[in-house]
Amino acid sequence: MSELVPQHLAIIMDGNGRWAKKQNKPRSYGHYMGTENVRNIAIAANHAGVKYLTLYAFSTENWIRPKEEINYLMGIPAIFFDSFLKELMANNIKISTIGQLEAFPENTRKVFEEAIKDTSGNTGMILNFAMNYGGRKEIVLAMQKIVEDKVPADQITEELMSKYLMTSKMPDVDYLIRTSGEYRISNFLLWQIAYAEMYFTDVLWPDFDEKQLLLALDEYKKRHRRFGGLDHEN
């Protein structure tokens, strides 16, 4: 059986647009409600005992979306932290990011920088936002840095590679959840999910509430994580 709670939980938050369409609302409304749900799930995961929660917030592929939608998404972090930073602080949650944030507008970057600074003294769950993130790009960047550091080929190991990744200060992912009925990884944490358990649900992200999270965590408890080995009874 798996440990009771995954130490590192990763979520592909999918379905905001479809949720909005079902409500006869614009896509921006779906993103807004999805943002509110980040607060709900972050606090619920923290209470459940999760130590690291990585959320796929904006991928390197998301730039192909309509400019109007991208502009709205760039303002989402300010909305989120203006609304919920005090609650995150009260729950001892610490903010971090992975991805190439330098591609974002200055105001968006500053919002994250300030949130990271404000929560730097917190010692609870790490709420890690993957922003302008792509798994393949992360691996390429890591390899480029290894080459720049002139590491001999015979010294390049899996352990060394992990130290060059954006998640170097975090353990590998234990459990990956994707909402909205899609069964894809979508270039998310390709290295880190090597032995992760996975959970796919038809529930759209804005509807993925604490009850849904607890159902997913209950399922995790039933999983047998063998890491390439055998069950004890075998």
Active site residues: 14, 62
User: Alpha-carbon distance 163 to 185, whole Å?
Assistant: 22
Distance (Å) of CA 143 to CA 147, 148, 196: 6, 9, 23
- List phi, psi (to 5°) of 233: -75, -10
Contact 76, 34 (CB under 8 A): no
52-59 β-sheet, strand order: 94-98, 126-133, 52-59, 8-12, 175-178, 197-200
DSSP annotation of 172 reads: P
